[in-house]
Amino acid sequence: PKLALFASGNGSNFQAIVDAVKKGQLDAEIPLLICDQKKAYVLERAAKANIEAHTFTLKEYGNKQAFEEAIVSLCQRHHIDYIILAGYMRIIGKTLLDAYQGRIINIHPSLLPSFPGLHAIEQAFDKGVKITGITVHYVDEGVDSGPIIAQAAVDIREDDTIESLTERMHETEHELYPKTIARILERKYVQKGDK
Ligand code: GRF
């Protein structure tokens, strides 16, 4: 199967997925990185890994539909099977959702449905919860609201700072995301309601 990875920033999850493919832990190809930020560090990671990268900015296209149509057409040209969001900081619109129904996956740094949206790690830390974690889920039209595929818990320790917690959250993501994608590709995850 062919994966298009979507990212906006650092791309450490992008890297974890690319590395898992290289190590033979994830049986997939990654023909494409889609980015929406011209200066994102993930673009350097893609160059190093020899992965074709395209930056689409909403500005160039004027509206979300035209922007997403351009992305869909590139993905279709590359025969992409799944879209993997890895720190892609945009809400997925109808055009992409319709084209890749049930095949768009996201990772979010909280135990959903708690703390959706931006700054989820800080939200949990500030609330004083004792256990937070990572969620991998299918993307629907809402914000971090689609069907949950996998979760991993991360304890918030007495002596944690936002930095130390963030570091453990990322480590957990880098382990959980490639593993979960592998399971999805093996069709080991069945959505509620599936026959
Ligand atoms: C991750 O924490 C992910 O859960 C969230 O955005 C962050 C991306 O980090 N959706 P990176 O760019 O993969 O390093």
Largest CA distance in the chain: 50
Determine whether the shortest distance from the Cβ of 178 to ligand 1 is under 6 A.
Answer: no
54, 79, 108, 119: the catalytic one is 108
Look at residue 190 and tell me whether its pLDDT is greater than 80: no
Active site residue 108: yes
Of all protein residues, the one whose alpha carbon is nearest to atom 12 of ligand 1 is: 11
CB-side neighbour CA atoms (13 Å) of 195: 0
Determine whether the shortest distance from the Cβ of 18 to ligand 1 is under 6 A.
Answer: no
- Categorize the per-residue pLDDT at 195 as very low, low, confident or very high, splitting at 50, 70 and 90: very low
Q: Distance between CA 23 and CA 16 in Å, rounded?
A: 10
The rounded Å distance from CA 87 to ligand 1 centre is 4
**Ligand 1 atom index nearest CA of 10:** 12
Q: Where are the domains of the chain?
A: 2-185
What per-residue confidence (pLDDT) applies to 140?
Answer: 96
190 or 177: which leads in pLDDT: 177
192 or 169: which leads in pLDDT: 169
**Strands 52-55, 2-7: pairing kind:** unpaired
> Which CATH architecture group holds 2-185?
3-Layer(aba) Sandwich (3.40)
Place of tokens 């990268």: 53
The pLDDT tens digits for 104-124 are 999 999 999 999 999 999 999
The pLDDT tens digits for 151-175 are 999 999 999 999 999 999 999 999 9
In angstroms, how far is CA 62 from the centroid of its own chain? 25
Of all protein residues, the one whose alpha carbon is nearest to atom 10 of ligand 1 is: 87
The pLDDT tens digits for 18-58 are 999 999 999 999 999 999 999 999 999 999 999 999 999 99
What per-residue confidence (pLDDT) applies to 187?
Answer: 81
The beta strands (E) that lie in the chain are given as 2-7, 29-35, 52-55, 82-85, 104-108, 131-138, 148-155
Q: Distance between CA 127 and CA 150 in Å, rounded?
A: 23
Whole-structure pTM value:
0.95
Q: Distance between CA 117 and CA 29 in Å, rounded?
A: 29
Q: Distance between CA 180 and CA 90 in Å, rounded?
A: 22
Q: Distance between CA 109 and CA 121 in Å, rounded?
A: 6
Mean pLDDT of the chain, nearest integer = 96
Q: Distance between CA 82 and CA 94 in Å, rounded?
A: 16
**Ligand 1 atom index nearest CA of 108:** 4
Determine whether the shortest distance from the Cβ of 109 to ligand 1 is under 6 A.
Answer: yes
187-194: list long-range contacts, CB under 8 Å, 24+ apart: 189/149, 189/150, 191/102, 191/138, 191/147, 192/147
- Categorize the per-residue pLDDT at 76 as very low, low, confident or very high, splitting at 50, 70 and 90: very high
Identity of the residue numbered 5: L
